[in-house]
């Protein structure tokens, strides 16, 4: 975020320096055009004020640690453990779950807004290692962990209840996700 203030700060600084140079040059060459001095004075004052405001915003945002969002974050690949796991934040991990286990965890997520679930397959059949879901304001955030080039990237789609169950079912049964292109890269804040 703070990087957006660099360019206006630079331009304001350049305009201010030009105004100062003009004022010094006008004094040296004894120029006496009052309208010109008034315009340069106003321009110099506005550019100085703009420069100060941009510098303050730049420093405040930079010191506060506010940063840009990026979608280029990659994670380590999940280690291949040889079996499928199902996990939520309240009940823990189930190794080699059944569909009843998966649908039970999905229903718990629908009942509790603090609940999330992660389904990690033993093998990433279509390069999709895991699917995770959590409730958000707009519905269900359904995320995929896609393995490529030795790393995992996360993509997301906002779904409703029925879509979430359908995606989880197909992923659990076949390791596939239809219309992966509809999932967008997840945004993270740069550090």
Tens-place pLDDT, residues 76-124: 776 767 789 999 988 889 999 999 999 999 999 999 888 899 999 988 8
* 21: confidence class by pLDDT, cuts 50, 70, 90: low
- Domain hosting 33: range is 2-67
Examine the fold and report which residue of 67, 91, 120 is the final residue of a domain before the chain moves on. 67
DSSP sequence for 9-61 = HHHHHHHHHHHHHHHHHHHHTT---HHHHHHHHHHHHHHHHHHHHHHHHHHHH
Rounded-to-integer distance, Cα 159 and Cα 172, Å: 17
- pLDDT value at position 2? 47
Rounded-to-integer distance, Cα 41 and Cα 74, Å: 51
Question: Do 148 and 114 share a structural domain?
Answer: yes
Higher pLDDT, 88 or 7: 88
Question: Do 63 and 7 share a structural domain?
Answer: yes
Question: Do 109 and 50 share a structural domain?
Answer: no
Q: Which residue, 56, 55, 65, 67, is CA-closest to 11?
A: 55
Question: Do 101 and 33 share a structural domain?
Answer: no
Examine the fold and report which residue of 21, 37, 67 is the final residue of a domain before the chain moves on. 67
């Amino acid at each position: 975020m703070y990087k957006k203030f660099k360019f206006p700060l630079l331009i304001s600084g350049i305009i201010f320096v030009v105004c100062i140079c003009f004022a010094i040059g006008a004094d040296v060459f004894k120029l006496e055009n009052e309208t010109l001095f008034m315009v340069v004075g106003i321009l110099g004052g506005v550019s100085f004020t703009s420069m100060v405001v941009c510098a303050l915003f730049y420093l405040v945002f930079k010191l506060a640690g506010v940063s840009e969002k990026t979608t280029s974050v990659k994670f380590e690949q999940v280690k291949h453990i040889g079996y499928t796991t199902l996990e939520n934040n309240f009940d823990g991990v189930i190794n080699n779950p059944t569909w009843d286990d998966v649908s039970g965890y999905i229903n718990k997520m629908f009942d509790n807004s603090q609940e999330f679930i992660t389904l990690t397959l033993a093998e990433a059949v279509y390069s999709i290692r895991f699917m995770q879901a959590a409730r958000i304001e707009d519905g269900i955030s359904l995320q995929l962990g896609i393995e490529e080039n030795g790393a995992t990237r996360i993509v997301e789609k906002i779904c409703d209840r029925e879509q979430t169950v359908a995606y989880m079912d197909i992923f659990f049964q076949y390791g596939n996700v239809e219309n992966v292109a509809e999932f967008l890269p997840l945004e993270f804040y740069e550090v």
